[in-house]
Structure 1
Amino acid sequence: MAQAQRPNLIYIVCDDLGYADLGCYGGREADFGAVSPNIDRLAAGGMRFTQGYSNSPVCSPTRFAIMTMRYQYRLRGAMEEPINSRSKGSTTLGLPPEVPTLPSLLKKAGYHTALIGKWHLGYPPAFGPRRSGYDEFFGIMAGGVDYFTHCSSSGEHDLYVDEEEHHEVGYLTDVLSQRAVDHVHQRAADAKAGKPFMLSLHYTAPHWPWETRDDAHVASDVAKNLFHLHGGDVQTYRRMIHHMDEGIGRLMAALREHGLEENTLVVFTSDNGGERFSDNWPLVGGKMDLTEGGIRVPWIAHWPAAIPAGSVSTQHCMSMDWSATVLEAGGGQADPDWPLDGVSLLRVLRDPAQRFERPLYWRMNHRGQRALRDGDWKYLRVDGNEYLFNISMDERERANLMAREPERLVRMREQWLAWDASVPPIPADATVSLGYSVRDMPQR
């Protein structure tokens, strides 16, 4: 692809969003109306995927996959479920700077790269966004912070410009959105002159604590306990999504203002399935689970110059595939010493009729979980119990067909074991931070 034709790239990742939280995925309206009108417009003007997955049902492991375009299990830091405060000062629990990443490879290809939002892949001085390919960073290093004080669960202030602590008043979702809008304004002239940009916009919304922009008066009390077990409600959760949606609307308006929307690839997703207030219908389970509700997530791609509007795809895919797609769209090349596990979906974006089959694998230290999706079928193991589901007929994973299909069960079990032998084992000292583990989501 000629340099002047290469798209700008915006990779939006939200945090703990449920499969059916968005209107375009069947979500219900809240008492204030539509929850996600701007994201819904992205889907209407682009392509929506109904069989898309995250690489993990918990945040930082998925982010390793997004960054490296490889199964996260290949790196020690991603064995944590997820990285927590004990990794501060560690030289092993993070994304090693020598590992090629999506931003580092795009930077080599001539892109200006920036991350606005959540990093959660290890702490300086050993790790950090600027050490892994980003020209600029504004955001948080930890997994979650209070939306007003910007303090992590350990009570430490956690908002940075590059690696310098930065203090700013404001509701975090709005602060990140405004930074992204400002970034488009700053990069527009270069983008028009043939120097495209890659922006990772990684929101913390709708991750706990459950605070809307109108809750500043109670933020000091909530900040004392970020897990906020006694608080929150569905309407607050939906407003948090709506605040993020409003910011995405302003971002798209900035692209249009500069004539950049037509040739900008915008990808939207979540890092894993939803938590306590999420709507995952018709799926069951949620964050920390390898049932469909923990790993099936929204995937939306908007690129008017290349993607037919109103498209829907049933292509099976996961986080690392989308990063491989963004890399190919930008003309970047994988490092031959670090071959990709992700498979580019660019051909599917250009032609919705295109579809290909490939197996998808997962494993979790938590509850000894294993999963394999291959075609219509899914093999699942939890707490030593095995399951076999035909997902095309049973998305709710209710009918365990292992007794009716014993040969398929054996074949898929052996297939998973062969894959598992190809990646490093989970070390004994890897930790699990449960947060809010969802066993079964509330039903409609």
Structure 2
Amino acid sequence: MVCWLILLVIMNVAVMEPQEEYCRITAPNILLVIADDLGWADIGFSHKPDGFVSDKGIPETPHLDRTAEEGLVLDNLYTQAACTPTRGSLMTGKYAFRLGQLFTSSVMGPQEKESSSHKFLSKELAERGYKVHGVGKWHLGHREKRYRPTERGFDSFYGLYKGMGTHYTHHHVSHPWLGETWGRHFGDHDFHYDYRNGSESVLTETEDDEGVHSTELFTKAAVSRIKEHDKTSPLFLYVAYTAPHSPLEPDESIVAKRNNHIIDVERRRYAAMVTQMDDGFGEILSALEERSMKENTVIIFVSDHGAALVKSCWDYVGGSNKPYRDGKFTFFEGGIKSAAFIWAPWLNDGVKGTHSKALAHVVDIHSLVLSLSGCMTNLVDNKINNEDGSMSLIRALKGDHSGRDTILHNLVSTPLPLNKLTKYCSPTTPQPGNYGVIRYHNYKLFYGDLVMWCHSDLLTEPCPDLVFVSGRAAMLFDLEIDPYERVNIAASNIDVVEKLAAMILEYSKDAPSQWVV
């Protein structure tokens, strides 16, 4: 009788679009995989339409490439320029400045307090009946229990709370010049298995797996969650690898056997970390297939931002964002343009295996996941209450690549305290003042106190000559004709600068601290 009812349901929705038919039957499982510091030129699928060939050699990633080529590659998905702001925006659907994550990580205390009241995606999904499991890197608050994953909606979490750790001994890595000031927060063991026991969170620290590479451990944990999953409920599996983030500690057996096309030894060691992540992704896919879950799973892959490029910086391990400019911690394209794709079993032939040019931001992943989890029959018109998200990714999956027209890339509305993470590679990095970065259609504007910002030791090359408009420095690029941000056209487009600057100032009214004008 049940089988006939299912058949009748399928017959009744046969004229609907594939996604609508699919959602009428069941809410999908969702697998969200995040790579850590993966550069644009560090994976094969991201740049094939442009014919770009990395002079450094592209790591072997057959499982990710194959899945991307069977899904929809996102050529214009943007993130924030650092780990925590990207994760915060993804989890809340809000731009990072609204969360108090103006410029950097939430390892330090105040940002945690700013964002503690915001409801996380994991909590939303748990309330919709999902089993929610997290594996890998958290980096969204840990000092108090209420900031930790199992208090944010996760049924279980296995991994590290902080931003980076040694891959074999699983100890947090100290920033070289922060040791004296923040030493009590660095160098400790940071590997945890937390789970829900009824209404209580059980927090445990594990040292049983010391000596095993973190990528291997995260893969095993993800596979275990799939094998143990009760299929009467949908699954949200959040896999946040710490690869290929520093420190450069690859599996030496992969270095010896793989990526032999890469001549540079350092690059090959970096590539091994990317390849090991890809191997893990392949194991996760196999686990889904073995349990007949893949045909009911949407897969989202994203890098949290571009690779770190400055060799003198503690975060550099050999990544590449070519052909784009600069990298991690900057808001040039190389720092915020993410290698990303979406795979879904119901993609039609006009979408499957294509690249979307739709402009999108990581907050739109929040919108997408909430839409899919609700199994909505009108995904284009439905509005998600997440403030900054859009329907751009939902439309792209249906073949509409119009995208969003605006992204606020960053807003620093007040100088940050000198004792916070305002200096990155060395204590001499200038403190950032007030500035904003916004994208509007093909234009991208940097506006504000850019003189100090442009002298940061995070930049691999000098900024183009600054133009001053209304007393503030401006850099304006037309990314349609200048995607690599070489020519500042602010002087000849004052009207565009003024329009986009007004948009930044309007956003600043909602900032935790007002823009100083």
Q: Same fold (TM over 0.5)?
A: yes
For 1:403, what is the secondary structure of its paired residue?
helix
Q: How far did 1:303 drift? A: 0.8
2:272 counterpart SS class: helix
Counterpart of 1:320 (choices 354, 363, 372) is 363
| SS of structure 1 residue aligned to 2:400 | coil
Q: Which amino acid aligns with 2:131?
A: H
Equivalent residue number for residue 496 of structure 2: 408
Task: Report the counterpart of residue 180 of structure 1 in structure 2.
Answer: 222
Instruction: Output the CA distance in 2 between the equivalents of 1:338 and 1:345.
Output: 15
User: Structure 2: how far apart are the matches of 1:427 and 1:129?
Assistant: 32
In the alignment, which of 49, 53, 57 is matched to residue 74 of structure 2? Answer: 49
Whether 2:408 is the aligned partner of 1:370: answer no
Structure 2 distance, partners of 1:350, 1:126, is 36
Does 1:420 find its partner at 2:420? Answer: no
Query: How far apart are residue 353 of structure 1 and its match?
Result: 3.4
8 A contact 2:42–2:58 mirrored in 1: no
Aligned twin of 1:148:
168
Equivalent positions of 1:79-90 (< 5 A) are: 79=102, 81-84=104-107, 86-87=108-109
Q: CA 1:413–1:427 in structure 2 vs 1: closer, same or farther (change >3 Å)?
A: closer
- Mark the CA change 1:400 to 1:52 in structure 2 (over 3 Å): closer, same or farther: same
Rate the CA distance shift 1:33–1:81 in 2: closer, same or farther, 3 A: closer
2:473 is aligned with 1:385: yes
Q: Tell me by how many angstroms 1:136 deviates.
A: 0.8
Residue 165 of structure 1 corresponds to 205
Among 243, 253, 262, the residue aligned to 2:276: 243
Q: Offset of 1:177 from its aligned partner?
A: 0.8
Change (3 A) 1:331 1:380: same
Matching of residue 213 in structure 1 with residue 251 in structure 2: yes
The answer on whether the counterparts of 1:109 and 1:332 sit within 8 Å (CA) in structure 2 is no
Q: Indicate yes or no: 2:367 matched with 1:301.
A: no
Other structure's SS at 2:40 match = coil
Structure 2 CA distance for aligned equivalents of residues 244 and 427 of structure 1: 41
**Partners of 2:410 and 2:436 within 8 A in 1:** yes
Aligned residue number for residue 25 of structure 1: 46
Which segments of 5 or more consecutive residues in structure 2 lack a partner in the other structure? 1-19, 174-185, 195-202, 255-264, 310-317, 377-382, 413-421, 423-431, 452-471
Gaps of 5+ in 1: 217-231, 429-444
1:132 CA drift (Å): 0.7
CA RMSD of aligned residues (A): 2.7
Deviation at 1:270, TM superposition (A): 1.2
Residue 61 (1) aligns with residue 85 (2): yes
For 1:51 and 1:137, how far apart are their aligned partners in 2? 30
Shift of 1:338: 6.5
Please give the TM-score of this superposition, normalised by the length of structure 1: 0.84
Match of 1:350 among 388, 392, 397: 397
Q: How does 1:104-115 map to 2 (within 5 A)?
A: 104-115=123-134
Distance, in Å, in 1 between the alignment partners of 2:39 and 2:218 is 21
- Distance across 2 between alignment mates of 1:35 and 1:93: 41
Instruction: After TM superposition, give the deviation of residue 407 of structure 1 in Å.
Output: 1.0
- Any conservation in 1 of the 2:97–2:411 contact (CA below 8 Å)? no
Q: Distance in 1 between matches of 2:269 and 2:55?
A: 10
Deviation of 1:321 after TM superposition, in Å, equals: 0.6
Q: Which amino acid aligns with 2:73?
A: R
1:36 aligns with 2:102: no
Query: Is the 8 Å Cα contact of residues 325 and 334 (structure 2) preserved in structure 1?
Result: yes
Letter in 1 for 2:286: A
CA distance in 1 between partners of 2:60 and 2:508 (Å): 40
C-alpha separation in 2, matches of 1:404 and 1:33: 39
Q: Which has the higher contact order (CA 8 A, sep 6+)?
A: 1
Partner Cα separation in structure 2 for residue 389 and residue 346 of structure 1: 25
How far is 1:427 from its partner?
Answer: 10
Query: Quick one: structure 1 residues 319 and 357, their matched pair in 2 at CA, closer, same or farther if it must change by over 3 Å?
Result: closer
Q: How many residues align?
A: 401
In structure 2, how many angstroms separate the alpha carbons of the residues matched to 1:389 and 1:32? 29
Counterpart code for 2:252: D
Tell me which residue corresponds to 2:319.
278
Deviation at 1:314? 0.6
CA contact (8 A) 1:322 1:345 kept: no
The percent identity for this pair of structures is 26
Q: Label 1:94 to 1:137 Cα distance change in 2 as closer, same or farther (>3 A).
A: farther
Matched, 1:14 2:35: yes
Runs of 4+ aligned residues of structure 1 deviating over 6 Å after TM superposition are 29-33
Kept after mapping to 2: 8 A contact 1:114/1:199: yes
Judged with a 3 Å threshold, the aligned counterparts in structure 2 of structure 1 residues 73 and 32 are, in CA distance, closer, same or farther, namely: closer
Q: 1:16 to 1:378 in 2, by over 3 A?
A: same
* Contact 2:158-2:193 within 8 A present in 1 as well: yes
Change (3 A) 1:426 1:257: farther
Larger Rg: 2
In structure 2, the residue corresponding to 1:178 is in which secondary structure? helix
CA distances 1:384-409 after superposition (whole Å, capped 9, x unpaired): 63111110111110011112211111
